[in-house]
Chains A and B, each alone.
Chain A
Amino acid sequence: MQQQDKYRIALLSAFALGLHGFENLLPSPIPWLRLGLANIVTLITLLLYGMRPAVMVTLIRVMLASLIAGSFLGPAFILSLGGGIASTLMMGFVLHIAPRLFSTMGLSIIGALFHNLAQLFLAYFLFIQRIEAILLITPVIILFGTLTGTVNGAVSALLMKNLIKYDQKVQNVNEIK
């Protein structure tokens, strides 16, 4: 892996971590119904640089976040990790199989969906053995996941568009030079 790539991954992970931290500052009535802003970074990394960097960014972000929060290897960590990996792999898979089928927004929804599904699954098998409780909250979680996925997707799409603009601007500058 080139030095440049390592820098990129590090930078993106930092962004993801930053967004995650920022998100935690926002008040919310329900503890883990979160916006998942860090997923924007994951998605953009996936689109720009491919699967491996995206997975790395996710891993680094989850690890660091849990280390900082002091919940490393705890239940929150397991759920975050499971959700993050599942969502990243799934988005990558869809991109691999059918690149033009879904737009950025669609990929984000897929990511959110699998993030939630993986978390529900892990929660059932590892923590709450009662299927009734899990089934009770699943529809609500899927609903919120779809909505936040859409919002994150919109932000990601916007970012991608602006990145194009920026890149072109820079390129123009280079050409002038």
Chain B
Amino acid sequence: MKSRQHVVDNLNSRQHIVDSKQVNTKRAVPASYIQSTVYCLLLMLFTVFSCASQKERIFKKDKILMDTLVTITVVLGSKDTAEKAIDAAFSEIEYLEKLSNHYSPDSEITLINRNAGISEVKVSHDILKLLEKALYVSENTEGAFDVTIGPVIALYDFHKKIRPDDGMIKKNLSLVNYRDIIINRDRSTVLLKRKGMLIDLGGIAKGYAADKAAETLKKQGVRSGLVAVAGDIKAFGLKPDGKPWKIGIRNPESRDKEDDIMATIELEDMAISTSGDYERFFLSGGKRYHHLLNPKTGLSAQECRSVSIITKEGAYTDAFATGVFILGPEQGLKVLEKLGFEGMIIDSHGKSHLTQGIRNKLEFKRTVS
């Protein structure tokens, strides 16, 4: 401590401290103590603030695309990078929609359909891949999944509740045969052999779009995300709390309640799709007419109420869900086991058929009706 004289000297200075040199020699605290304190304080500050800015959060955005609600969820550090990544993924889906929408007059599919029985059409890489995958599913479901079902499904109007008579169905059934899709890889072309054939990618396009959107997200640097093109979902990575994405499977019995979930499952780098008789349908004369038509009969498949499938690719979960639905519970389950997919089939009596592996992964909720 300084003497009184020093105190007076201090106070008389302009500000408050007069002579730092003198002050130094009288001070008892070694510089090293102060230094280490400062380093500690700075270190504390640094860790607190760096942790804060790198904290990853969940961002979600939705958009109407492919005639349905597409919701994309990502785990990132900031809102801006999340928006950028999600918008890029939306653009990719928009691009695919332009190519695959058979209702649109400019899409590549419409071009192929218009040239059915006439000539082959040069197509983009994505359409080529889509059709190749569709053919793979057709071959593995004994033709239950068939994208050439276009002419038959066009006879139904689910909004106006119109169903065709047997004569019309029979006539158009002759145009249904997936083997009549000729793909030439070298020339990148597709040919529909007979006039009047129509390709409808509705049963596979959404799943494929989910895959491509997820790829786009990964290219944008997203390490964990969820793409839901309506019910065709692709999940990758883990949530910030370290857990996988949790997907709910809707109860086919109580479709009117938006959030009535019958079971949940955690997905790690997998896709899931569900085909159900409640998605596009109408009731007439006590019968349910829905959009999952059997390519052999042209009529709505009756044996199942809903089918959910899990595997790596969304294109396959989408297409196989349709195929397995049409094949029915027994044959469908065999196909799944053979290909190593996991799945759950609810048959027309409400009984559930599960693949071996999915039993432990599903968490059934008590249904509230």
Contacts and interface: CB of A to CB of B under 8 A. Distances in A.
Contacts of B23: 50, 99
Interface in B1-59: 1-2, 7-8, 10-12, 15-17, 20, 23-24, 26-29, 31, 34, 37-38, 41, 44-45, 48, 51-52, 55
Nearest to A51: B29
Nearest to B28: A52
B27 A51 contact: yes
A93 B38 contact: yes
A93 B27 contact: no
A12 to B, nearest CB: 11
Interface string A51-68: 111010000000000000
Contact of A131 (B34, B38, B52): B52
A4 B2 CA distance: 10
A93 B2 contact: no
Nearest to B27: A50
A102 to B, nearest CB: 9
B15 A100 contact: yes
Q: Size range of the interface on B?
A: 20 to 34
A114 B38 CA distance: 11
A99 B11 contact: no
Of the candidates B8, B24, B26, B55, the one having the most CB atoms from chain A within 10 angstroms of its own CB is: B8
Contacts of A99: 17, 20, 23
Interface in A13-65: 47-53, 55
Interface string A78-114: 0000000010011011011001100110000000001
Contact of B55 (A2, A120, A131, A163): A131
Of the candidates A4, A49, A55, the one having the most CB atoms from chain B within 10 angstroms of its own CB is: A49
A121 interface: yes
A168 B34 CA distance: 33
A96 B1 CA distance: 16
Contacts of A121: 44-45, 48
Interface in B315-343: none
A50 B2 contact: yes
Nearest to A2: B1
B29 A4 contact: no
Contact of A103 (B2, B12, B15, B26): B15
A100 B17 contact: yes
A47 B48 contact: no
Contacts of A55: 29
Interface in A96-147: 96, 99-100, 103-104, 114, 117-118, 120-121, 124, 131, 135
Contacts of B26: 50
A176 interface: no
Contact of A47 (B16, B20, B31): B16
A160 B37 contact: no
B350 to A, nearest CB: 44
Interface of A: 1-2, 4-5, 8, 47-53, 55, 86, 89-90, 92-93, 95-96, 99-100, 103-104, 114, 117-118, 120-121, 124, 131, 135, 160, 163-164, 167-168, 171
Given A5-B1, A121-B45, 7 more contacts: A47-B16, A48-B7, A50-B29, A90-B38, A90-B41, A164-B11, A168-B8
28 contacts: A2-B1, A5-B1, A47-B17, A50-B1, A50-B2, A50-B26, A50-B27, A51-B27, A51-B28, A51-B34, A52-B28, A86-B41, A89-B37, A90-B38, A96-B24, A96-B27, A96-B34, A99-B23, A100-B17, A104-B16, A114-B41, A117-B45, A121-B44, A121-B45, A124-B48, A135-B52, A160-B16, A168-B8
